[in-house]
Amino acid sequence: MPAEWEPHRATWLVWPHNRADWDVKTSAVEWCFCEIVRHLTCDERVGIICQNAAVARRAELRLARCDVDLSAVDRLVVATNRSWIRDTGPIFVSRPTVGDRDEIAATDWRFTGWARYPACGRDDSLPRRLSRHLGVRRFAPTVRIAGRRHRMVLEGGSIDVNGEGLLLTTEACLLGHVQKRNPGAARHDLEDSLRNHLGVRRVLWLGEGIAGDDTHGHVDDVARFVAPDTVVAAREPDTADVNHAPLADNLVRLRRMRDLRGRPLRVVELPMPRPVRFDGIRLPASYLNFYIGNGSVLVPTFNDPADRVALDRLAALFPDRKVIGIHAGDLILGLGAIHCVTQQEPTSERCAVAAADGRPAPGQGGRG
């Protein structure tokens, strides 16, 4: 599985259509999607999956009003349950082949609605539909449980990779006693499946996620790789905040972790915004839910004084990309942010020269 900062052919999104996600803010969220697409199309293609022809037309009209280059947008009509393609879409992998291109394939993990929401059958079929559209091979990963193989449940937001053999995840999500994703699966069996199907060599386990996250602790709200040897991680200094203890524990764990050569990881702290609530419910607002595009890093912001701190620290880590804040006050009502609604499709072309820190050199990547 390539790291997110490696060159993309395209980024995929599912246009908002289910009011159960954003309720009164569904229309506002569409304009947030327009901003995401507008910035991404400066450097790569964007694929938009639409529920039906009417949704496709509405998306096109809104994008046009926001001055999006529609020639850089592909539209695909596929019925889905919801718009969280990070968790429901295929996780793409690549391998070298003879010549100047890599083979791209799709891994199709079972999706069970985060072990919470039963209406998920259309989302579970999305990897099959999208891989068929793209003409790439598809693999359905399994895990050994009590001596038998079962299709493994996994969401893309529960893992993060550095492209050089390391994978970050949380015990709360993959092993927690409240989750029902892969009941009976042992830690080593889950690790074997992740190694076999994503090409990683070591799984790094954090503890818990953040308050308000209905996924049982996805890692993309608490810690992310930004280079092969560097992780950004959330920190909450307020000891009275429910996030303080779990995030402090994650930081302790990260500072003890080593890469495949035995070297410590570089850990950069990002602040948390002040608690964001709507209708009395705490929402999982986090700057860690950013998305790394070919030429930009799109960061959720929350009209908070910590916004500028998070943007400045990420800008220092991505000197060759534009670090752009996108207001996510409406988007977060659906209990997810920018990373949750995007899924990268890596390019098969070996056109990017890696910089010393592992990111593509300036000007490399572009549209596939």
Structure tokens at 171: 């015990």
CB 287 within 8 A of CB 257: no
The single residue of 34, 50, 120, 340 carrying the catalytic annotation is: 340
Distance in Å from the first CA to the final CA of the chain: 18
Residue type, 136: V
Give the whole-angstrom CA distance, residue 284 versus residue 213: 5
For residue 309, give the CATH number of its domain: 3.75.10.10
Identify the DSSP state of 165: S
Residues of the domain holding 250: 8-346
In a domain, 155, yes or no: yes
In a domain, 321, yes or no: yes
Q: What is the pLDDT of residue 195?
A: 97
pTM as predicted: 0.94
Structure tokens at 241: 């905040």
Q: What is the pLDDT of residue 180?
A: 85
User: pLDDT, tens digit, for every residue of 351-362?
Assistant: 543 433 444 333
- Give whole-number Cα distances, 82 to 88, 151, 334, in Å: 9, 22, 10
In a domain, 305, yes or no: yes
In a domain, 367, yes or no: no
In a domain, 362, yes or no: no
In a domain, 78, yes or no: yes
What is the tally of structural domains in the chain? 1
Residue among 200, 149, 209, 220 at smallest CA distance from 175: 209
In a domain, 356, yes or no: no
Residues in the chain where the model's pLDDT stays below 50: 352-368
Cα 79 → chain centroid: 21
The verdict on whether 340 is a catalytic residue reads yes
Q: What is the pLDDT of residue 176?
A: 85
Q: What is the pLDDT of residue 351?
A: 59
CB 338 within 8 A of CB 36: yes
Structure tokens at 175: 């092993």
User: pLDDT, tens digit, for every residue of 309-329?
Assistant: 999 999 999 999 999 999 999
Q: What is the pLDDT of residue 350?
A: 74
Give the whole-angstrom CA distance, residue 199 versus residue 219: 19
Q: What is the pLDDT of residue 104?
A: 97
In a domain, 81, yes or no: yes
279: left (phi over 0), alpha (psi -120 to 50) or beta: left
- Give whole-number Cα distances, 9 to 41, 43, 269, in Å: 11, 10, 30
